[in-house]
């Protein structure tokens, strides 16, 4: 058997390659399990709480780097798209007091918006495509561009680079799928017996 393989160089080369492939595959599989780096579970939880707009308003290139920075002790109030609700959720997760949103990084928007390109005015410069962190803009050089509304996070990063100012941030129409009960107003007296002067 070995003699017949040696006498046929193509078959010998094929057997050698298959053998090396199996050997290196087994080594790589073993190394992947042996030296696997476990992710930080707190970073994963923080990243899930952030709004995933990847807008950079917090000073980081995306939500994941900001989550890693929070896990390392950075302030939790730098995310305008997430607003106070996200700050409260992060504070609850980390068991720390919830600060107010840092105004230096922006203001919380009351209404979610998406970018809209006035297509007849678009010159196809592609600057908005380059600025979009979530690839929500379609188009090509010197051709009309458009926004995929379902992908747009409303980060507003595409508006400033546009040389012809043809991008508007429009409010998202509320549908039955997006509507939520409003949070109840903070009331000091929850039940009648809590009223001042009640006996």
Q: Are residues 85 and 140 in the same domain?
A: no
Higher pLDDT, 144 or 179: 144
Q: Give the best-scoring range by mean pLDDT among 5-9, 103-107, 164-168.
A: 164-168
Give the chain's domain count.
2
What's the mean pLDDT in 62-85?
92
Question: What confidence tens digit (pLDDT) does each residue in 112-160 have?
Answer: 889 999 999 999 999 999 999 889 999 999 999 999 998 898 888 899 9
Q: Are residues 80 and 125 in the same domain?
A: no
Q: What is the structure's pLDDT at 56?
A: 86
Q: Helices 63-71 and 41-49: crossing angle, nearest 10°?
A: 130
Taking 80 as the threshold, does the pLDDT of residue 196 lie above it?
A: no
Taking 80 as the threshold, does the pLDDT of residue 20 lie above it?
A: yes
Whether pTM > 0.85 for this model: the answer is no
In a domain, 162, yes or no: yes
CATH assignment of the domain containing 52: 1.10.15.40
Residue 60: give the domain boundaries. Answer: 41-105
Q: Are residues 119 and 166 in the same domain?
A: yes
Domain boundary among 105, 134, 153: 105
Q: What is the structure's pLDDT at 190?
A: 57
In a domain, 61, yes or no: yes
In a domain, 21, yes or no: no
In a domain, 134, yes or no: yes
What's the mean pLDDT in 179-185?
72
Taking 70 as the threshold, does the pLDDT of residue 107 lie above it?
A: yes
CATH assignment of the domain containing 118: 3.30.70.20
In a domain, 96, yes or no: yes
Residue whose tokens read 């050997």: 23
Q: Are residues 142 and 119 in the same domain?
A: yes
Q: Secondary structure of the chain in the HEC alphabet?
A: CHHHHHHCHHHHHHHHHHHHHHHHHHHHHHHHHHCCCCCCHHHHHHHHHCCCCCCCCCCCCCHHHHHHHHHCCCCCCCCCCCHHHHHHHHHHHHCCCCCCCCHHHCCCCCCCEEEEECHHHCCCCCHHHHHCCCCCEECCCCCCCEECCCCCCCCCCCCCCCCCCCEEEEECCCCCCCCCCCCCCCCCCCCHHHCCCCC
In a domain, 95, yes or no: yes
Q: What is the structure's pLDDT at 192?
A: 59
Confidence of residue 2 (pLDDT cuts 50, 70, 90): confident
Domain boundary among 105, 132, 153: 105
Question: What confidence tens digit (pLDDT) does each residue in 75-97 have?
Answer: 999 998 888 999 999 999 999 99
Distance CA 51, CA 177 (A): 18
Q: Are residues 97 and 128 in the same domain?
A: no
Please say whether the beta carbons of 67 and 93 come within 8 A: no
Q: Are residues 118 and 97 in the same domain?
A: no
Distance CA 55, CA 159 (A): 12
In a domain, 80, yes or no: yes
Q: What is the structure's pLDDT at 90?
A: 94
In a domain, 58, yes or no: yes
Domain boundary among 84, 105, 126: 105
Taking 60 as the threshold, does the pLDDT of residue 176 lie above it?
A: yes
């Amino acid at each position: 058997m070995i003699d017949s393989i040696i006498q046929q160089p193509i078959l010998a080369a094929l057997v050698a390659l298959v053998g090396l492939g199996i050997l290196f595959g087994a080594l790589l599989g073993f190394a992947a399990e042996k030296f696997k780096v476990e992710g930080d579970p707190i970073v994963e939880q923080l990243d899930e709480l952030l709004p995933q707009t990847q807008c950079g308003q917090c000073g980081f290139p995306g939500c994941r780097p900001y989550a890693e920075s929070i896990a390392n002790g950075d302030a939790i109030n730098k995310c305008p798209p997430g607003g106070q609700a996200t700050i409260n959720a992060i504070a609850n997760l980390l068991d720390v007091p919830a600060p107010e949103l840092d105004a230096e990084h922006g203001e919380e928007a009351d209404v979610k918006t998406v970018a809209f390109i006035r297509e007849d005015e678009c010159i196809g410069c592609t600057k908005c495509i380059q600025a979009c962190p979530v690839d929500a803009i379609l188009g090509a050089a010197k051709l009309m561009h458009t926004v995929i509304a379902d992908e747009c996070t409303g980060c507003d990063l595409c508006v400033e680079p546009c040389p012809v100012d043809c991008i508007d941030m429009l409010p998202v129409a509320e549908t039955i799928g997006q509507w939520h009960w409003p949070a109840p107003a903070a009331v000091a007296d929850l039940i009648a017996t809590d009223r001042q002067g009640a006996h």
